[in-house]
Amino acid sequence: NKPDGSVRMCLDYRPLNSVCQKDNYQMQNIDDILDKLPRATFFTVLDATSGYYQIALDEESQKKTAFTWKRKRYEFTRMPFGLINAPASFQRIMDQIFSDEVNEYVIPYLDDIIIFSETESDHLNHLEFVFNKLRNHNIYLNKKKCNFMKREIKILGHIIKKSERGIDPQKIE
């Protein structure tokens, strides 16, 4: 069960993953991401609803996700969790969507989209631009997990605000 009480179906794709060629798509280093953020004053963190499920699978890939439940065969039409290349595939798509803006004022990191700006008016313009891009690419957001126009955010295990970056104390045991 997910923290909100909903259920996420999870299948064991280890046999499939063992015969897949690993996609070595280079994701941004978390420290590099975090280093860019403290120059901003305003932050928004968007959450792509069930991120991987927003990515359609081609017919051949659908067949590879087949499973049986109650004597019926099913295939995913959208990218499920558990596939070895799901994170790289999703990140590549998000990076392509924001290719011109990455690191300027938006950083997609898997299903999180971080928007950062120095002024309120810039931030509103950046939000509008990001929303238009998401709409044009049919990427949906989970509004319950989005945080808008904040001066301090918790992201990737850290707390970020203008000119400051620290580890989130809740992540330390």
Query: What is the structure's pLDDT at 79?
Result: 94
Binned at pLDDT 50, 70 and 90, residue 5 comes out as confident
Query: What is the CB-side half-sphere exposure of residue 146 using CA atoms within 13 A?
Result: 15
- Phi, psi (deg, nearest 5) at residue 9: -70, 135
Per residue in 56-93, pLDDT tens?
A: 999 999 999 999 989 999 999 999 989 999 999 999 99
Full set of structural domains in the chain with CATH: 22-55+85-171 (3.30.70.270)
The residues facing 115 across adjacent strands are 44, 106
pTM value?
0.87
How many whole angstroms separate alpha carbon 61 and alpha carbon 146? 31
Reported as a single tens digit per residue, the pLDDT across 116-141 is 999 999 999 999 999 999 999 999 99
How many angstroms separate the CA atoms of 7 and 1, rounded? 5
Cα-Cα-Cα-Cα dihedral sign, residues 52, 56, 62, 66 = positive
Residue 80 DSSP class: P
Helix (H, G, I), strand (E, B) or coil at 56: strand
Six-digit token string for 147: 């945080």
Report the distance separating Cα 56 and Cα 53, nearest Å. 7
Q: Give 110's pLDDT tier (boundaries 50, 70, 90).
A: very high
Instruction: Report the mean per-residue pLDDT for the chain.
Output: 92
Relative to beta strand 42-47, strand 147-150 is: antiparallel
Q: Which amino acid is at 139?
A: I
Residues, the chain: 173
